[in-house]
Amino acid sequence: MEGIIDKLLNQIQKLGQFGLERLQALGRAGVFLFASIPWGGPGSAGFKDLIKQIYSIGVRSLSIILVAGFFVGMVLGLQGYTILSDFGSEAALGTMVSLTLLRELGPVVTALLFAGRAGSALTAEIGLMKATEQISAMEMMGVDPLKRIITPRLWAGFIAMPILALLFSLVGIWGGAYVGINMLGVDEGAYWGNMQASVEFYDDVIKGLIKSLVFGLVVTWIAVYQGFDSMPTSEGISKATTQTVVVASLAVLGLDFVLTAIMLGSI
Amino acid sequence: MRTRLMELAVGAFMVMGIIALVLMALRVSGISTSEVGDKYTIKAYFENLGGLTERAKVSMSGVTIGRVTNVYLDTEDYVAVVEMEITSGMSTLTTDTSAAILTAGLLGEKYIGLTVGADDEYLEEGGVIEDTQSALVLEELIGQFLFNKAEE
Average pLDDT over residues A20-28: 88
B29/A196 CB distance under 8 A: yes
User: Residues A164-195: pLDDT tens digits?
Assistant: 999 999 999 999 999 998 888 888 888 888 88
∠ CA B120-B125-B130 to the nearest 5 degrees? 60
Q: For residue A258, tell me if it sits in a domain.
A: yes
User: Residues B129-139: pLDDT tens digits?
Assistant: 888 888 877 78
Contact status, residue B77 vs residue B67, Cβ threshold 8 Å:
no
SS (H, E, C) B62-107: CEEEEEEEEEEEECCCCEEEEEEEEEHHHCCCECCCEEEEEECCCC
Instruction: Decide which of A214 and B152 is more confident.
Output: A214
Average pLDDT over residues A237-263: 92
The percent of residues in chain A predicted with pLDDT above 70, rounded, is: 96
Instruction: Give CA–CA dist A169/A12, Å, rounded.
Output: 48
User: Residues B69-88: pLDDT tens digits?
Assistant: 888 998 888 889 999 888 87
Q: What pLDDT score does A42 carry?
A: 57
| Position B106 confidence tier, pLDDT thresholds 50, 70, 90 | low
Interface residues from chain B to A (CB-CB < 8 Å)? 3, 6-7, 9-10, 13-14, 16-17, 20-21, 23-25, 27-31, 57, 105-108
Average pLDDT in chain B: 83
Bridge partners (DSSP) listed for residue A151: none
Q: How far is CA B105 from CA A89, A174, B82, B110, B126, in A?
A: 9, 26, 22, 9, 31
Q: What per-residue string of b and e applies to B95-126 under the rule 16 or more CB within 10 Å gives b?
A: bbbbbbbbeeeeeebbbbbbeeeeeeeebeee
∠ CA B37-B41-B44 to the nearest 5 degrees? 145
pTM of whole model > 0.80?
Answer: no
Instruction: Give CA–CA dist A199/B31, Å, rounded.
Output: 10
B13/A200 CB distance under 8 A: no
Phi-psi sector, B137: left (phi>0), alpha (psi -120 to 50), beta: beta
Query: How many CB pairs below 8 A link A and B?
Result: 73
Instruction: Give CA–CA dist A61/A64, Å, rounded.
Output: 6
Q: How far is CA A8 from CA A1, A17, A124, B53, in A?
A: 11, 14, 39, 62
Contact status, residue A229 vs residue A28, Cβ threshold 8 Å:
yes
Q: Is the pLDDT of residue B4 over 90?
A: no
Count of domains for chain A: 1
Give B96 to chain A, closest Cα distance, Å: 29
Q: For residue A4, tell me if it sits in a domain.
A: no
Average pLDDT over residues B104-125: 81
Instruction: Give CA–CA dist A258/A161, Å, rounded.
Output: 19
User: Residues B26-66: pLDDT tens digits?
Assistant: 777 766 555 556 788 899 998 888 878 777 888 888 888 88
Instruction: Give CA–CA dist B152/B150, Å, rounded.
Output: 6
Q: Which residue of B has its CA nearest to A163?
A: B17
CB contacts under 8 A, A 14-33 vs B, are: none
| Position A105 confidence tier, pLDDT thresholds 50, 70, 90 | very high
Radius of gyration of chain B (CA): 23
Q: For residue A23, tell me if it sits in a domain.
A: no
Residues from chain B contacting residue A173 (CB–CB below 8 Å): 28
Give the mutation candidate from A205, A212, A213 for the B interface (greatest B CB count, under 10 A).
A205
Contact status, residue A115 vs residue A224, Cβ threshold 8 Å:
no
**Domain of residue A235, residue span:** 48-264
The percent of residues in chain B predicted with pLDDT above 70, rounded, is: 91
Give the mutation candidate from A44, A47, A50, A163 for the B interface (greatest B CB count, under 10 A).
A163
| Position B92 confidence tier, pLDDT thresholds 50, 70, 90 | confident
Instruction: Give CA–CA dist A15/A5, Å, rounded.
Output: 15
| A206 in contact with chain B, both atoms CB, cutoff 8 A | no
A54/B13 CB distance under 8 A: yes
User: Residues A119-175: pLDDT tens digits?
Assistant: 999 999 999 999 998 988 988 998 888 888 888 888 899 899 999 999 999 999 999
